[in-house]
A and B are shown apart, each in its own frame.
Chain A
């Protein structure tokens, strides 16, 4: 296999720079070496959720998932490495095994008549191998699923059983769907975590891209899509050679192994490089995520007991306030916030006197919410880990809450870390989000209206809305 020289403009070619990383990325066992330990931890945590103490902040599953994993995911992994978690996630492993019939090898179709299983490209899969319905090939299902789970977040965050059941249901759904639909259809179109990971992977500096587009254009093999003896066609149902955004790339690195020209690589580029939203489904995902960051900041970090009572339906068993809370959440996320940004786009269009539909300006405004929402979520998550991190140490010694003291930390009292600095950190994160939003939105507006003052005017109403959202978060965190 020859290796294409690094192309300019993609950022730093990590695999050309770091030879051990290149060697590792090309090993067929590498993904399994990452996923297998995760599966062990995942299985142990599931058991902890089912049989351990029902007290959330004393149960290993709840503290591992909602304090440790969540913070590492949203504050470290996603901003730096985008969807890297998808490459480590154990949930699709049984589905992959079922489809491929092997954990490490590659199956090729023989071409013989009556060959069993589904053949996609040169690979042979078990299962029905059906195409995912075109009408559902977007983020709408993931957004709806996430919003539904979000409405019950108080139950999920505090009940080990609810968390365990949800994770187990995701495992079963991923496996069953893998038997019916081709490749990672569950991850692409159903996984509620995958939806926001895809969106928030856009500002990340890490990206898998082709080194040279011309090499891909002249390639006859197309192993990255069709698969070959070195690996499977892209499990994420994308054309790796055409990747220009991080959204749908699960960083499984299969294309690195299948490319006969060594033309695929992992690049480190400037943050905020991916800015374009492809459609309304992505825009609404951005709205839902921001609305939830705002709502959660009020419910979980705010002092309002009535909000907590309304969200806490499992304990309060009062459905009326819960339905009002869930309804307000859905209305705010799906209608009010998008309507405000649509109004800003309409106003921007009027002010700039452009004749086209406001769709472009609307999507440009929504694109600004991607880095803004990500930093809002990080700001929301900071007090969760700084304030409740000591629960992780206690639960590590006694994950089931049954009196163990494995590491001598079971009796550790609740100890918040640097609480006086949390509002300062949150304010800095929110302001950084505002700045990143302005940069993203303005660059998108520029690409729509050209490098003109019209682009500034067109984006100005949206910038004011983002400033309003910034102030709301600042007030919630520091006011």
Chain B
């Protein structure tokens, strides 16, 4: 069982401290790393079971203009985190878009401001075949604080964990 004096308790304390310090440090650092917002146009081609490009990169504040085409069947494009859902039909440049609970609109391109940093998956939202649930792509809006913070936390766990084990072993050796 867990007692306040047990190594397991001390290890848990170390882990919490290391995680908090590294995440806060990297989070604070990355908030000052924004670039200058611009405008980016991306032509997205959907086919069973992939989007091309599969990864869209942007900086926070960029205005993205997305145009769509489908090579085979009707596909969806649901952008997580931004709640944008697009229906793309083959041989048609015009798409249907719904933002959140808003009305369905017919547009030739979908524009939005990438104002949330991080990684957001876009997924096909219209059943298009066997692998449909796995038809995904990624919008990566920099700075990716979660990746930076969690990577630093992983490194912190390694260094902090070994340092903790080293000091504990030293105390046990000397006693």
Contact = CB atoms under 8 A, between A and B. Distances in A.
Interface in B150-169: 150-151, 153-155, 157-158, 161-162, 165-166, 168-169
A463 B158 contact: yes
A158 B130 contact: yes
Interface stretch (A22-30, A76-84, A299-307, A353-361): A299-307
A467 B158 contact: yes
A416 B131 CA distance: 17
B11 interface: yes
Contact of A419 (B15, B19, B55, B81): B81
A137 to B, nearest CB: 34
A302 B162 contact: no
Contacts of B119: 423, 478-479
A435 B55 contact: no
B133 to A, nearest CB: 5
Given A420-B120, A452-B172, A479-B147, A435 B1 contact: no
A431 interface: yes
Interface stretch (A53-61, A95-103, A192-200): A53-61
B147 A304 contact: no
Given A452-B169, A453-B166, A305 B49 contact: yes
Given A158-B130, A303-B137, A456 B166 contact: yes
A301 B157 contact: no
Nearest to A66: B133
Contacts of B52: 305
Contacts of A301: 121, 134, 136
A451 B172 contact: yes
A187 B7 CA distance: 37
B100 to A, nearest CB: 12
Interface string A448-479: 00011101100110011001001100110011
Interface of A is mostly: helix
Interface in A377-431: 383-384, 387-388, 391, 414, 416, 419-420, 422-424, 427, 430-431
Contact of A424 (B51, B132, B146): B146
A69 B125 CA distance: 23
Given A308-B49, A312-B130, A453-B170, A302 B19 contact: no
Nearest to B161: A438
A304 B135 CA distance: 9
A154 B131 contact: yes
B107 to A, nearest CB: 20
B173 A58 contact: no
B162 A431 contact: no
A451 B172 CA distance: 7
Given A302-B136, A463-B161, A431 B153 contact: yes
A453 B173 contact: yes
A456 B2 contact: no
B138 interface: yes
Interface in B113-136: 116, 118-121, 123, 125, 127, 129-136
Interface in B46-77: 47, 49-52, 54-55
Pairs A-B, 8 closest by C-beta atoms: A305-B50, A419-B80, A303-B54, A158-B130, A427-B150, A420-B81, A451-B172, A467-B158
Interface of B: 1-2, 8, 11, 15, 19, 47, 49-52, 54-55, 78, 80-81, 116, 118-121, 123, 125, 127, 129-138, 140, 144, 146-147, 150-151, 153-155, 157-158, 161-162, 165-166, 168-170, 172-173
Interface of A: 11, 55-58, 154, 158-159, 269-270, 299-306, 308-309, 312, 314-315, 383-384, 387-388, 391, 414, 416, 419-420, 422-424, 427, 430-431, 434-435, 438-439, 442, 451-453, 455-456, 459-460, 463-464, 467, 470-471, 474-475, 478-479
